[in-house]
Amino acid sequence: MSDQDPTKAPGTGTDITLIGDEHVKRYQETNGEVGYLWNDVPTLLFTTIGRKSGTPRTNPIIFTQVGHKYVIMASMGGAPKHPSWYLNIQAHPEIDVQVKGDKFRARARTAQSPEREELWAEAIKDWPNFDVYQSRTERVIPVVVLERM
């Protein structure tokens, strides 16, 4: 019999009981009362338009607020390729965002140096695993800034 906790991602201690579509559904149903805090860090929902399909896709993601900017990381856990949502915002940078009950349009852009490093330093204060994810991949993980329109 395994001592592994089925609610935790193997080797991370991260609670994975609320992920993906279920996270989106619960967040939307409760205006973030369920799902805003995930593993003790804030999350938002964002909806992109599929660059190939044209279909709207909503994702939950950890964010860090820096002034009026919402900062998200295209980390995908340190996978070798960028997440699909990142490619979608490159094609269609105007997206819908929900932070708790606040819903708004935003323009997404990839931060460049030196802003990227400054925002990265802020984000790892909330989620130090971003450094772990960067160590797993050769690609530079994009830091994405969402600015309210």
The pLDDT tens digits for 43-77 are: 999 999 999 999 999 999 999 999 999 999 999 99
Residue 137 maps to a domain: yes
Residue 88 corresponds to which tokens in the numbers above?
């979608």
Beta strands in the chain (DSSP E): 37-38, 41-49, 56-62, 64-66, 69-73, 94-99, 102-110, 143-148
Residue 11: predicted pLDDT:
44
Chain-centroid distance of CA 110 in Å reads 13
Which CATH number does the domain housing residue 52 bear?
2.30.110.10
Residue with tokens 């599929």: 50
**Is residue 11 one of the residues assigned to a domain?**
no
Residue 47: inside a domain: yes
Q: Which helix (H) or strand (E) element contains residue 84?
A: helix 84-91
* pLDDT score for 95: 98
Give the domain range for residue 73.
Answer: 20-148
- At position 114, the amino acid (one-letter code) is P
Q: Please report whether residue 51 resides in a domain.
A: yes
Low-confidence ranges of the chain (pLDDT < 50): 1-12
- pTM of the predicted model, to two decimals? 0.87
Does 8 fall in a domain? no
Give backbone dihedrals phi and psi of 137, rounded to 5 degrees, phi first. Answer: -135, 155
- The predicted pLDDT at position 20 comes to 82
- Asked if residue 1 is part of any domain, the answer here is no
Beta bridge partners of 105: 96
Structural domain count of the chain: 1
Per-residue confidence (pLDDT) for residue 18, from 0 to 100: 72
Model pLDDT, residue 10: 44
- Cis peptide leading into residue 114 (ω within 30°): yes
pLDDT at 15: 58
Domain-located, residue 135: yes
**Does any domain span residue 14?**
no
Confidence (pLDDT) at 75: 97
How much of the chain is helix, strand and coil, in % rounded to 5? 30, 35, 40
